[in-house]
Structure 1
Amino acid sequence: MIRSLYTTISGMITQEAKQNVIANNMANSNTVGFKSDDLAIKKFDDVLIQNKSKIQNGINYTQTIGSLSLGSRIDETATNFTEGDIQNTDSDTDFAIDGRGFFTVNRDNGAGGQNYYTRDGHFHVNMQGYLVNDTGDYVMGKNINTGNQERIIAGNGKITSDAYGNISIDGRPSYSLSTVDFNNYKTLKKVGDNLYQGQNPITNTNVFVKQKALEQSNINPVNEMVNMMSTMRTFETQQKVVQSIDETLGQAVNDVGTVK
């Protein structure tokens, strides 16, 4: 009886975590370049049920009858990297990657900063003339003249880009957007602000970049609403099971405590 209580509660905890993931997806349905998450759930290792051992002709025999599940547990949060729709805009500093790849941005946290990766190409030029994202991280590019990877500075110049991310400022070729890709997207980790951390980035030489365009979130609000309702119903069902087990345990305790 106690084991069944643990099993049901573990399911409730899992459903609650899944509900949080769905809510986060829905909250970011209009976030540029956002990728949806899904909760991967695994069951706890089953406990094998065995009958009593018996010794026959000097051999110890134990027969396995079956297994008993101990409930579910959260395995990982998996990100769906399916590309979202690309919509045109009127801004010269909006960019979208059509296909695989990520923009590289640099966060100024000392010691040269830290590079992160994003599909969000909603950039603008800050007061110092640098091309940055919405959280002020610097967009990285390869300086065509020096060959160095550095923060893109545009000043007050007009920014234009070809289909391969080569940027000209006031008609003068200046930078090539630093775009990367990864062999295994499972190694990418969300770190907030629509950014990712990843190991061993590969320079994306086959990137296709669209200027004056943004990639939309790949969230399907209708599907997320259906998932939320399903998760809520499962949680409510498990809640009723817990109440039933609790009542049964309470009755059992009262019966044991009754002296006749």
Structure 2
Amino acid sequence: MIRGLYTAVSGLISEEARQQVITNNLANANTNGYKGDDLRVKDFKEVMLNNYDKVVNGKNVRQELGNLSMGSKIDDVITKFTQGPITETGKKTDFAIDGKGFFTVEGSNGKRYYTRDGRFHVDIKGNLVDNNGNSVLGVNTQTNNVEPVNVGNSKIQCDSLGNILLNGNQKYKFQFANFEEGQIKKVGDNLYTSNAQPSAGNVHVKQGYVEKSNVNVINEMVEMMTTMRNFESNQKVVQTMDETLGKLISQVGDVR
């Protein structure tokens, strides 16, 4: 019975963590470029139960009672990188990646991050930056150096391959980044980081568009209700076992 308590409580912990993931997804359903998360749960290793109550020829022999699951545990939280809807804004500093790939930005600490949120604007220095003030990086086609994209007061145009033209002259190309599955992780503020070396690859971009969140609100609500039911079921198991243990301690063997 004690083992059963541990099994039910492990289910409570897993469902609580799943609820937090779903809540975060719903909170970012309108966040441009956001990619939803999914909680992966796996079983603890099963254990074999046996005893020596069986007697053969006057001797106690081992008999196997069967396997017992020790419940579930949190395996990992993975990000679903499916394409989000692309909507037109008409703003020249808005960009949306159609397919795989990330924009590369540089924080004030000099560290590089990656994002799918292409809502950029020009700061007082004339640099193209994201909503967090991180500089958008591009390859200078004249020097071949990777540096912040400096737009100044120029008219900005961008083709589908990410080539940036200022007043009709090509000056930069977006520093795109591609990663294999599992090589990139979230760090907050709609940014990602990775210890792996990114590949450039062929990335297609649309100017005057933004990519919306890939979170499906209806699916998340259904998942939330299922999670709540599972939590309540485990909760009732714990409550029933607690009441049974209480009776075992206070009533069984009581002299009347």
TM-score range, shorter chain: over 0.9
State the match for 1:210 in structure 2: 206
Deviation at 1:52, TM superposition (A): 3.9
Amino acid at match of 1:226: V
Q: Provide the identity percentage.
A: 51
Conserved? CA contact 1:178–1:203, under 8 Å: no
* Whole-Å separation in 1 of the counterparts to 2:65 and 2:196: 48
State the match for 2:134 in structure 1: 137
Deviation at 1:9, TM superposition (A): 0.8
The answer as to 2:5 corresponding to 1:5 is yes
Q: Secondary structure at the match of 1:210?
A: strand
Deviation at 1:202, TM superposition (A): 3.2
Deviations 1:172-212 (A, max 9, x none): 21100000101x22121110011111233333241111100
Deviation at 1:167, TM superposition (A): 0.4
Amino acid at match of 2:43: K
Task: State the Cα RMSD in Å.
Answer: 1.8
The alpha-carbon distance between structure 1 residues 62 and 146, as it changes in their structure 2 partners (threshold 3 A), is farther
State the match for 1:229 in structure 2: 225
Q: 1:255 aligns with which of 234, 238, 251?
A: 251
- State how 1:108-257 maps to structure 2 within 5 Å: 108-109=108-109, 113-182=110-179, 184-256=180-252
Deviations 1:2-49 (A, max 9, x none): 111111111001100000000000011111111111100011111112
Deviation at 1:63, TM superposition (A): 5.8
Alignment size in residue pairs? 251
The answer as to 2:61 corresponding to 1:71 is no
State the match for 2:101 in structure 1: 101
Unpaired runs of at least 5, structure 2: none
* Whole-Å separation in 2 of the counterparts to 1:202 and 1:257: 69
Unpaired runs of at least 5, structure 1: none
State the match for 1:90 in structure 2: 90
TM-score (norm 2): 0.93
The answer as to 2:26 corresponding to 1:31 is no
Conserved? CA contact 2:178–2:201, under 8 Å: no
Deviations 1:210-234 (A, max 9, x none): 1001111111000000000110111
Q: Secondary structure at the match of 2:251?
A: helix
* Whole-Å separation in 1 of the counterparts to 2:24 and 2:198: 29
Amino acid at match of 1:203: S
Deviations 1:235-255 (A, max 9, x none): 111111111111111111102
